[in-house]
Amino acid sequence: MAREDFPEWYGEDARLLGDDEGMRRLAYDVDGTDGTIAFTDFAVFAGIHMGLMDVRASQGHSVTPLRHDVLEIVHCRRGRFECELARDTCVCVAEGDFAVTSTALIAERVRYSFPFNSFLGIAVVIDFAALTPETRQVLAALSIDLDRLHENLCLEERWFTGACTDSIGRVFSDLYEAVRTNDRCCFRLKVLELLFLVERFHAEEGRHGTYCSGSRARTVRLMRDRLVSGLGERISLEGLAREHGIGLTLFQNAFRDIYGLTPYAYLKHYKMHQAAARLTDGTESVAEIAQSLGYRNASKFAGAFKDVLGTTPREYRRMNTVLEQS
């Protein structure tokens, strides 16, 4: 496929790996790391796409301003992502939340990052320049008004993130299952249902994205990198804050704003996400993984893993092995 045939919202760093009857597999290069960003894009209607993003990296691809408006609804199933915007602000989206944004807010080149080195999510993308009269008729028949969605969620001013309602959460769950089974009819039905529900979701029902100073976010990110550089050791938060010339309370508050957790709680979640990836991808034993992450007691490791991921390490490995084989 020629480069000029790529939708602009793919981004300039997208590489096409495969194109099969409305399903494209894309990859993005990750600067300075050996991580991977994979995106599987399904054409649902003309101008409306749905994609599964699977990230195994801390840094994401950059996004440049587009010539026209693109609306994006993203659900974070695993991990967390953040994005630095103009005016020295940073927005963060937590696991289990969904975000709605318009590319009209992207005034300059921005970069996504993934603080757990792992992210799995679904994105529904509406490219207004590519919407056909037929697609608009389908939306109108279901009383889906994308302009009203913009207004209800105040997208002219900022990103919107919110915890899923039960109904929105069920739609996303159905979409993940549809991706696994490649059920294209389900994509269409569920994407329309999602748009119907989100259009009726008002900003006051949820919460806006966590915004903070971009310069402070960069300082806290450096401190976070030090925390995760030695997963088997205990690092003093007081000493770390002192090294970076920031007060301990300010550091802890800024860290919670950006990552949604206290530093030590974040470190626990980070370790368990690393363990989950290694349980799925490798042949290491549970005991070997536990010891490398600083857990000499296997039962404490299993308890921490269940606290974060809701199941034991062995059950997680078994379930994910079954899913990969299905």
One domain, residues 239 and 288: no
Q: Are residues 184 and 239 in the same domain?
A: no
Please give the pLDDT value at position 108: 66
Query: For position 14, what pLDDT does the model report?
Result: 86
pLDDT at 230: 73
Q: Are residues 191 and 227 in the same domain?
A: no
Same domain flag for 255 and 285: no
Closest CA to 47 of 151, 137, 120: 137
Q: Do 221 and 280 share a domain, yes or no?
A: no
Instruction: Note the pLDDT of residue 4.
Output: 56
Q: Are residues 289 and 247 in the same domain?
A: no
85 in the same domain as 67: yes
Q: Which of 326, 325, 272 shows the shortest CA–CA distance to 302?
A: 272
Q: Which residue, among 10, 114, 129, 24, has the nearest Cα to 63 in the 3D structure?
A: 10
Looking at the structure, tell me whether residues 238 and 107 fall in a common domain: no
Pairwise CA distance, residues 125 & 43, whole Å: 10
CATH of the domain at 126: 2.60.120.10
- Same domain? For 104 and 251 the reply is no
Please tell me the pTM assigned to this model.
Answer: 0.76
Query: What pLDDT is stored for residue 11 in this prediction?
Result: 81
CATH of the domain at 279: 1.10.10.60
**Is the domain of 117 the same as that of 243?**
no
Collapse the DSSP code of 320 into the 3-class scheme (helix H, G, I; strand E, B; otherwise coil) and give the result.
helix
Report d(CA 150, CA 145) in Å as an integer: 9
Note down the domain range covering 174. 3-208
Give the pLDDT confidence score for residue 155 in this predicted structure: 82
State the pLDDT at residue 109: 67
Same domain, 192 and 229: no
Q: Which amino acid does the sequence have at 253?
A: N
Q: Which residues of 186-206 are buried (b: 16+ CB within 10 A; e: fewer)?
A: ebbebbbbbbbbbbebebeeb
What is the arrangement of strands in the sheet containing 59-63, beginning at the earlier edge strand?
59-63, 110-113, 81-85, 89-93, 210-213
Q: Please tell me the distance from the alpha carbon of residue 248 to that of residue 13, in angstroms, as a whole number.
A: 39
Of 208, 229, 246, the one marking the end of a domain is 208
End-to-end CA distance of the chain: 30
Q: Is 41 exposed, middle or buried (0-12, 13-18, 19+ CB in 10 A)?
A: buried
Q: How many domains does the chain have?
A: 3
Residues 38 and 177 in one domain: yes
According to DSSP, the residues that pair with 54 across neighbouring strands are 38, 120
Q: Which residues of the chain have pLDDT under 70?
A: 1-5, 31-34, 60-67, 85-90, 105-109, 202-215, 321-326
Tell me the residue type at 118: S
